[in-house]
């Protein structure tokens, strides 16, 4: 499988390291307008960099060596424009999250994807962390009973520096709730198995980036929030995001409560816990299981092995050996949920999905 990568910044480095773990994958071309990013990618490729073609943009890349698949890892605000010429080809595409920065652009992409046959995949890595995948499988097997509540927590480090500091401004990212949290909104839909109805978000920029200036501009991205989402099957979900909590023991923690038990999983510990309901006054019956992730896969990325397992699933879909697990419609709804959360946080009100999606 001959891969082309469009965008060779931070997330592309992770894709490169993981593709190198897959024997049937070969990177043959790279595209990025920033020479420093191209040099970074070639350095990451090391001895495998020989003979790889580099280009300034997607149009030039498509005139280069023949490809079997493309990964788009360029900045959020470029996705719609980058995908334009790619969607005119028959190439399988993995587009990093978020699908786009606006609902209009995401809807346009989804419509164009629906009219083609080739695999289109949105990079929602969190589904593919082995402990999270086991957590989802246990819920689907009824290990919590009938799901009623879902709480997702991410207590992590601030946004990392990017080329041109593009990720410091909502106009480039779609806002923190789109850029960062589309992962979690996608997880909510995947776990709950229903569609969101209304979103309420309270958030602010309380600690990070307040003293930063870029050509005199002050960053405007949220660094913490609480978001609740009501789904059409009656389940309520909550996201607790804090991006000045890098000292937290668990970066991610997922808690699902059903009418039979509580299921919890933590990242990076990989510890999965099931706590069945017990009669008052009787001992608790807590069950614990450690879900291991291959050490080489962990070393290749920052998403607890998810990038590797997602790439494998993407290749399976291309080969016809598996389904597209995260398609353009999933990407559209995740963006719309993030846009609803951003609007809710700014206007201090509940926002309906119908209002955002029309």
Tell me the pLDDT tens digit for each residue of 135-151: 999 999 999 999 999 99
Q: Tell whether the model's pLDDT for residue 59 goes beyond 90.
A: yes
- pLDDT, one tens digit per residue, over 189-215 is 999 999 999 999 999 999 999 999 999
Distance CA 243, CA 192 (A): 25
Looking at residue 289, its pLDDT comes to: 98
Q: Which of 11, 4, 3 is nearest to 301 (CA)?
A: 11
Average pLDDT (155-171) is 93
Q: Tell whether the model's pLDDT for residue 164 goes beyond 90.
A: no
- pLDDT, one tens digit per residue, over 178-189 is 999 999 999 999
Distance CA 329, CA 120 (A): 10
Domain 2-125 has CATH 3.40.50.720: yes
**With the CA atoms of 63, 69, 74 and 77 taken in that order, what torsion angle do they form, in degrees rounded to the nearest 10?**
90
- Cα distances (angstroms) measured from residue 12 to each of 31, 100, 270: 11, 17, 25
Terminal Cα-to-Cα distance of the chain (whole angstroms): 40
Distance CA 205, CA 227 (A): 15
Peptide bond into 98 cis (omega under 30): yes
- pLDDT, one tens digit per residue, over 285-328 is 999 999 999 999 999 988 999 999 999 999 999 999 999 999 99
Residue ranges, CATH 3.30.360.10, the chain: 127-294+327-357
- pLDDT, one tens digit per residue, over 85-138 is 999 999 999 999 999 999 999 999 999 999 999 999 999 999 999 999 999 999
Regarding pTM above 0.85, the answer is yes
Domain 127-294+327-357 has CATH 3.30.360.10: yes
Distance CA 279, CA 285 (A): 11
| Mean pLDDT, rounded, of the chain | 97
Residue ranges, CATH 3.40.50.720, the chain: 2-125
């Amino acid at each position: 499988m001959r891969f082309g990568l469009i965008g060779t910044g931070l997330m592309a480095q992770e894709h490169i390291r993981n593709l190198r773990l897959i024997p049937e994958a070969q990177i043959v071309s790279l595209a990025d307008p920033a020479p420093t990013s191209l040099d970074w990618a070639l350095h990451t490729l090391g001895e495998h960099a020989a003979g790889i073609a580099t280009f300034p943009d997607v149009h030039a890349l498509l005139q280069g060596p023949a490809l079997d698949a493309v990964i788009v890892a360029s900045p959020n605000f470029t996705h719609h424009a980058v995908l334009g010429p790619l969607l005119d080809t028959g190439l399988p595409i993995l587009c990093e999250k978020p699908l786009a920065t606006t609902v209009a652009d995401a809807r346009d992409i989804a419509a164009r994807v629906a009219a083609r046959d080739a695999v289109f995949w949105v990079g929602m890595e969190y589904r593919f962390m082995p402990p999270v995948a086991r957590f989802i499988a246990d819920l689907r097997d009824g290990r919590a009973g009938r799901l009623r509540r879902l709480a997702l927590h991410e207590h992590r480090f601030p946004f990392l520096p990017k080329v041109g500091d593009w990720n410091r401004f909502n106009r480039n990212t779609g806002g923190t709730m789109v850029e960062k949290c589309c992962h979690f909104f996608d997880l909510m839909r995947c776990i709950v198995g229903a569609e969101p109805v209304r979103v309420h978000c309270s958030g602010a920029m309380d600690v990070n980036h307040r003293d930063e200036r870029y050509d005199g501009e002050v960053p405007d991205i949220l660094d913490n929030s609480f978001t609740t989402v009501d789904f059409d099957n009656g389940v309520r979900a909550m996201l607790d995001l804090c991006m000045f909590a890098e000292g937290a023991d668990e970066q991610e923690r997922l808690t699902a409560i059903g009418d039979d038990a509580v299921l919890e999983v933590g990242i990076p510990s990989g510890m999965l816990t099931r706590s069945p309901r017990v009669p008052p006054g009787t001992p608790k019956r807590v069950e614990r299981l450690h879900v291991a992730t291959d050490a080489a896969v962990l070393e290749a990325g920052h998403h607890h092995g998810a990038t590797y397992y997602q790439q494998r699933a993407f290749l399976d879909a291309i080969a016809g050996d598996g389904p597209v697990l995260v398609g353009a419609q999933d990407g559209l709804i995740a963006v719309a949920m993030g846009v609803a959360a951003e609007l809710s946080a700014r206007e201090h009100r509940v926002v309906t999905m119908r209002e955002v999606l029309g």
